[in-house]
A and B are shown apart, each in its own frame.
Chain A
Amino acid sequence: MIDLLTIFVLAVFVGFEVVSKVSTILHTPLMSGANAIHGVILVGAILITGSAESTLELVLGLLAVFLATVNVVGGFVVTDRMLEMFRK
């Protein structure tokens, strides 16, 4: 458990370090990009559903898979559309 806590604390520092360097012009893409990244809950949803034993777990898991997928693909596509406009 200490291992996980270590990872968490280090990630906090990396997160603050990286994000504080983001150009103010790109704050909206930052937020939608971060949005896409928290769609990584899809990994958790797949793991849960893949080992679900009861109908309840299956239903909850599949709903999570669906919602997380919307989150992931939507997030990355929207971010890409925005960043494309900034490339010039």
Chain B
Amino acid sequence: MIKPRNLFALALVVVLGVLPLIAQQQQADRVKAIGGKFLCMCGCGQILTQCNHVGCTMSAGMLKELGQWVNRGDSEATITQAFVQEFGTTVYAEPPKTGFSLIAWAMPVIYFVVGAVLVLFVISKWRKRPQAAGVDAAAPVTASGVKISQEAMERGRAKAARETED
């Protein structure tokens, strides 16, 4: 039977052996997570942790630097600041959500909202239209302000049908 004291010693050895491994894994995960927020500066435009193209002169050095900072326990903000100081704002993989860069994030939302409002407006407008619009009401207006009659449109259609073939 194993004595409690020995059991405790065994557990301690296991814990002491496993803890560094866990810490190492956590640091590797942190490097991966933070590295995913920067671009490789060799000009390939790839994420730092994904850039492994042959002949890349930058990614290995940048990852080494990042690893050192993570091992030192630097915060993400500090690391970001250090990278920006070293390489400029082009190092960001995505625009920061502050200042002028906020526009990049806001634009797609604005496009969608404006577009959706327009679509809803168009749908409501088209729904209000009478089933069969009167000839005169539907007659389009030319640049000179003269309405093209329905007959003129039909003549145009007939002309198109006559002059073209599928």
A complexed with B: no
Give the interface of B toward A (CB within 8 A): none
